[in-house]
Amino acid sequence: MSRRDPPYLTRRGDVFWFRMAVPRNLVSRIGLREIKISLATRNRQVARSLCLQLGGGVLQLIAKFQKMTPLPPERIRQLAATYLAAQRDQIRDLALRLPNDSAIDCEFEGNNALDEMAALRKQLNARPFDPVTLSAASSALDEAKIDKQSISPSAFNALCVGILRARIEGLRIYAATLQGRFHECEPIDPLFAQESSDSLLAGAKPAAPASPCPTVGELAAIYCERHSGTRWSDKTSDDNRCILELFC
């Protein structure tokens, strides 16, 4: 190559190419070791001009990446776990109200939740993310006072994966709650479970202890509350309470 050529100009056969190494500290975040682009020309002068323009733009992009704040895996897990915790609060509220609504079929609602969960699992494997997941990830950053523009696209994608896994887990717990499978109401995804072997959490602090499963007495109280009012006469309610108390 000529001494007047830009340092990022190279040639393959008769065609000129732009080629620039990515700084080592950005390789994992950008996902490339070098940037290679065909200039689609055999004319050296045209290639020099294109290379200078492209080089300036790429250098600006690299400088922007250098200023971005890293978002560690544990921080991503915390944001996703906070989102799941909010979902579980809503689930507890709905689980107390819906069974008392004669217009709601809890079994049907639970099956719908499982169908939606299956659809989200496919999205987790295929991408791209749906608007709900993207919006939830952006809201999680806003609530944590993290500027979305200050983190890399790969970090935001990782957060979207965490939010999507939280949505899937929330739907599973919601279905289990509506269908009375209370022993399945704790997180089982390694990202959120109390004891996790997920590589994402390597070296992280232990997660906060999960809420204990309801006792027999608590389940009995929930059962009676769900079936009180118009569904039971006072005598039926009292009789069932007496029977349930035998197991408490």
Residue 2 lies in a domain: no
One domain for residues 39 and 100: no
Rounded-to-10 torsion of CA 203, 157, 58, 69: -50
Same domain, 78 and 18: no
Per-residue pLDDT of the chain (248 residues; tens, 9 = 90+): 556 788 889 999 999 999 999 888 888 767 788 999 999 999 999 999 999 999 998 888 888 777 777 788 899 999 999 999 999 998 888 877 877 777 888 888 889 999 999 999 998 888 789 999 999 999 999 999 988 877 877 788 899 999 999 999 999 999 998 888 888 989 999 999 853 333 333 333 434 444 455 555 565 666 666 655 545 555 555 555 555 555 54
From 25, 48, 67, give the residue that closes a domain: 67
Element (H, E) at 58: helix 44-67
Do 1 and 9 contact (CB within 8 A), yes or no? yes
63 lies in the same domain as 153: no
Query: Rounded to 5, what percent of the chain is helix, strand, coil?
Result: 60, 5, 35
User: Does one domain contain both 55 and 82?
Assistant: no
Same domain, 143 and 195: yes
Residues 95, 32 share a domain: no
The residue range of the domain holding 52 is 9-67
